[in-house]
Amino acid sequence: MKSLRLFLVTGLLAFACCRPVLIDTYLLTEQQKSLIPYVPDTQVTFSFNGEKSFPIIITEVSKGMQQEYRGEESCQYYEYERKTAILRSVYPEINIEATVCAQNNESFKRYDTLNFSVRLGYKQFALNCQWDPTGISFCDTVLAGFHYHKVLVFNNCTDASHLSDTSLLYYQHIVWSQENGLELITFNNGDYYVLEKQNNYQHGATHADYGM
């Protein structure tokens, strides 16, 4: 009787588990990798309204493979490469996480065709506040009086309905370039934090034109 019970339990366990099967591996493209042009433990200098400078520290840059199963019950999974950078400032307090994931068109589509996302504090910013099947692309823009060429402009969609009330302060836009990463953060009252200079490393010429 005891051995029969043991046999049943073992049988059930054997059927309940399955061996994970890797279906495919997706790697970041060179363009995707370059969206996070940071190295850890460096800092960049930002300016508040062009008056007060403060450092933003790149506290972490990580790259690795992530697994994503086809479904909750599935044993088949994809593997995709992911790169993340965390940027922090103590005063003013800013906490940004930028993540880019390799494409996997079959099982999931993230925020855009580049699979690039930016979180400021605990809120995810989006390139489009409404679903846009064409995805996103780099664009030219003028924000807070700064001209940018070929940048990504993220929006605070979760607070969109409050942004017109300038008596309360909300983040509004984030401008991100392939050359410098974080370029600009704007507020709904016209205040902004703008990239002043890269301190510890050099990249190609900035696309930001600071001719206000």
Partner 1 sequence: MFWKSRIIISTGLLMLITACDPCQEADAYQCIEENIKALVPDQAITSYTLISQDGFAESYRQESWYDTIEAFEPDRCGNVFRWDRMGAMYRSTLNNDHNVEFRLDALNNTQLTIGINYKQQIAWDFKENSITTSGYDNPDYPEATYIAFHDTLTTGGRTWEQVLEARFSDSHINAEQIKEVLFAAHHGIIWYRLKNGVEYFRVK
Q: Contact at 8 Å (CB) between 25 and 43?
A: no
CA distance linking residue 136 with residue 155, whole number of Å: 13
Q: Is 131 in the site for partner 1 (CB under 8 A)?
A: no
The residue among 35 and 94 lying less far from partner 1, judged by its C-beta, is: 94
**Least distance from partner 1 to the Cβ atom of residue 189, Å:** 8
**Which is closer to partner 1, CB of 114 or CB of 120?**
120
* HSE-up (13 A, CA, CB side) for residue 36: 28
* Residue of 105, 83, 5 whose CA lies nearest to 39: 83
Among 46, 171, 176, 192, binds partner 1 (CB under 8 A): 171
Amino acid symbol at 209:
D
Least CB distance to partner 1 at residue 191 (A): 7
Q: Please tell me the count of residues contacting partner 1 according to CB under 8 A.
A: 22
Determine if 15 is a binding residue for partner 1 (CB under 8 A).
Answer: no
- 121 binding partner 1? (CB under 8 A): yes
What's the rounded Cα separation, in Å, for the pair 106 and 200?
A: 40
- 94 vs 102, which CB is nearer to partner 1? 94
Q: Is the dihedral of CA 58, 88, 153, 33 positive or negative?
A: positive
Interface pick for partner 1 out of 23, 48, 155, 157 (rule CB under 8 A): 48
What H or E segment, with its residue span, contains residue 46? strand 42-48
102 CA to centre of own chain: 12
Smallest gap from Cβ 190 to partner 1, in A, equals 12
Q: Which is nearer to partner 1, 15 or 91 (CB)?
A: 91
Nearer to partner 1, 26 or 176 (CB): 176
The Cα–Cα gap between 79 and 163 comes to 39
The binding site for partner 1 (CB under 8 A) comprises 48-49, 51-52, 90-93, 95, 120-123, 159, 162, 167-171, 189, 191
